[in-house]
């Protein structure tokens, strides 16, 4: 099986033809230089070729909450969004805290075959924050887990966090922290500010995140391990990360598309699709997060795709679940926030949505240079397309997309996963 991509712009830099056979890129040449009568030809004039996107933070909900998402529906949403690899968070039912559960997720992902699904292992048994899970058994399993996280919960006990950081050094693992001091955020509903007072919602202070980020940076430096900060959301977190990177602490961080694009004023609508953990912050925070991503202080974009069925999102703000879907809109939101504003170019997008996430996840076949003999994992983008998001038009089982009815610039049009078109012209194959 061969695919010939004609006249596409490689990361927005130069126009090329690219021939794929089986799972590999076998030839790259100047635009209009390659012909092959046996290949399926796709004209990429005006389109950008990026490496397949890699998500470090996806909630696929299976096993246990198949009413919200399954590995099959989440994989389809990922393929539609241009992803070729996703990391599945551990807060499933049962929790992914044993070799058995991570291998189950790994196998389900392989059977679906639309993206590579890499399970993240829980740090503590049952995400309870009491004792360490079987980290090395998960690392040694067929799923080869390298990232561990209690995401949804913070590993708030500093002794346990220290032990986890020490433990993963044996297999070069990384602890991904959901930085949220539980005592400072009891019953919290939205960013703590004048607005939270006005709306009568309990405030979630920025320092609840920053205090944990600062502590964990120091712990990581002390034990010489590897830390990843999930969904950085405040200007103060950026300052701490800047300091840590200056000191050469081994810390990486992610920001979500929604924290780069939306701010707390969305909560004025009391529409629970804007309720998320960590909460949407101020305009100033959004500005600092964008700058930090452009400067590499924040390493990557991760979606924190968090599907919820409608009954968990309707009704009162206070009782609604936290979380937003995001796989299908991620690239467009990031491009609108970062490219339309001239803060980044397409090569930068390739770095923060594919190359760096693949490095952090230690993935051999993703985020690689687009070159001959590399595995063909590609994401093809129309940079000029303007489109309006319709939350109902989704491959996810859930529709809690906060970008509903918003107009975004640029869209993923084709996805190639291991040499196969998993999505063509917006249509997922399978």
| Interatomic CA distance for residues 333 and 118, integer angstroms | 24
In the complex, what is the shortest distance from the CB of residue 326 to Zn ion, in angstroms, rounded to a whole number?
13
Cis previous bond, 278, omega within 30? yes
Does residue 285 bind Zn ion (CB under 5 A)? no
Q: Which stretch binds Zn ion (CB under 5 A): 154-162, 223-231, 245-253, 319-327?
A: 223-231
Longest dimension (CA), the chain: 66
By CB under 5 A, the residues from 224 to 283 that bind Zn ion are 230
Sign of the torsion formed by the C-alpha atoms of 281, 282, 284 and 290: positive
Does residue 150 bind Zn ion (CB under 5 A)? no
Q: Which stretch binds Zn ion (CB under 5 A): 178-186, 191-199, 291-299, 363-371?
A: 178-186
| Catalytic residue chosen out of the listed positions 97, 304, 312, 348 | 304
| Interatomic CA distance for residues 272 and 233, integer angstroms | 19
Residue 79 or 324 with smaller CB distance to Zn ion: 324
How many angstroms separate the Cα of 218 from the Cα of each of 177, 213, 320, 344? 13, 9, 35, 31
Does residue 151 bind Zn ion (CB under 5 A)? yes
In the complex, what is the shortest distance from the CB of residue 178 to Zn ion, in angstroms, rounded to a whole number?
4
304 labelled catalytic: yes
| Interatomic CA distance for residues 412 and 252, integer angstroms | 26
Residue 178 or 245 with smaller CB distance to Zn ion: 178
Does residue 178 bind Zn ion (CB under 5 A)? yes
| Interatomic CA distance for residues 358 and 350, integer angstroms | 11
In the complex, what is the shortest distance from the CB of residue 323 to Zn ion, in angstroms, rounded to a whole number?
9
Does residue 209 bind Zn ion (CB under 5 A)? no
Q: What residues pair up with 379 in beta bridges, in sequence order?
A: 50, 415
Residue 230 or 352 with smaller CB distance to Zn ion: 230
In the complex, what is the shortest distance from the CB of residue 205 to Zn ion, in angstroms, rounded to a whole number?
17
Enumerate residues 6+ apart whose C-beta is below 8 A from 292. 232, 238, 241, 242, 255, 298
Q: Annotated catalytic sites, by residue?
A: 304
Q: For binding to Zn ion (CB under 5 A), which residues are involved?
A: 151, 178, 230
């Amino acid at each position: 099986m061969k695919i010939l991509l004609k006249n596409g712009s490689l990361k927005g830099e130069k126009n090329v033809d690219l021939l794929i056979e089986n799972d590999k890129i076998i030839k790259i040449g100047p635009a209009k230089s390659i012909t092959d009568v046996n290949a399926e030809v796709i004209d990429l004039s005006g389109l950008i070729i990026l490496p397949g996107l890699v998500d470090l933070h996806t909630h696929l909900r299976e096993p246990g909450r198949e009413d919200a998402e399954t590995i099959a529906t989440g994989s389809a949403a990922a393929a539609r969004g241009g992803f070729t690899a996703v990391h599945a968070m551990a807060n499933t039912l049962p929790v992914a805290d044993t070799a058995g559960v991570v291998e189950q997720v790994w196998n389900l992902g392989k059977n679906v075959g639309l993206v590579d699904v890499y399970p993240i292992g829980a740090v503590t048994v049952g995400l309870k924050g009491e004792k360490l899970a079987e980290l090395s058994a998960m690392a040694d399993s067929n799923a080869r887990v390298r990232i561990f996280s209690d995401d949804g919960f913070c590993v708030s006990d500093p002794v346990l966090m220290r032990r986890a950081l020490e433990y993963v050094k044996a297999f070069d693992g990384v602890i991904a922290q959901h930085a949220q001091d539980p005592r400072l955020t009891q019953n919290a509903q939205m960013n703590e500010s004048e607005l939270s007072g006005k709306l009568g919602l309990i405030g979630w202070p920025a320092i609840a995140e920053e205090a944990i980020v600062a502590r964990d940076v120091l712990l990581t430096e002390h034990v010489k391990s590897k830390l990843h900060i999930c969904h950085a959301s405040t200007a103060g977190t950026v300052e701490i990360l800047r300091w840590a990177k200056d000191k050469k602490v081994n810390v990486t961080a992610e920001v979500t598309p929604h924290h780069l694009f939306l701010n707390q004023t969305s909560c004025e609508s009391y529409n629970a699709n804007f309720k998320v953990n960590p909460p949407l912050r101020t305009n100033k925070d959004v500005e600092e997060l964008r700058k930090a991503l452009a400067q590499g202080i924040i390493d990557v974009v991760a979606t924190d795709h968090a599907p919820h069925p409608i009954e968990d999102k309707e009704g009162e703000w206070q009782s609604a679940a936290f979380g937003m879907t995001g796989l299908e809109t991620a690239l467009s939101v990031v491009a609108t926030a970062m490219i339309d504003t001239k803060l980044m170019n397409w090569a930068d997008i390739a770095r923060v949505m594919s190359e760096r996430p693949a490095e952090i996840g230690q993935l051999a076949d993703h985020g690689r240079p687009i070159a001959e003999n590399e595995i063909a994992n590609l994401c093809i983008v129309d940079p000029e397309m303007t489109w309006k998001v319709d939350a109902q038009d989704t491959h996810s089982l859930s529709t809690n997309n906060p970008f509903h009815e918003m107009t975004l610039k640029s869209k993923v049009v084709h996805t190639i996963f291991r040499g196969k078109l998993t999505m063509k012209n917006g249509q997922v194959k399978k």
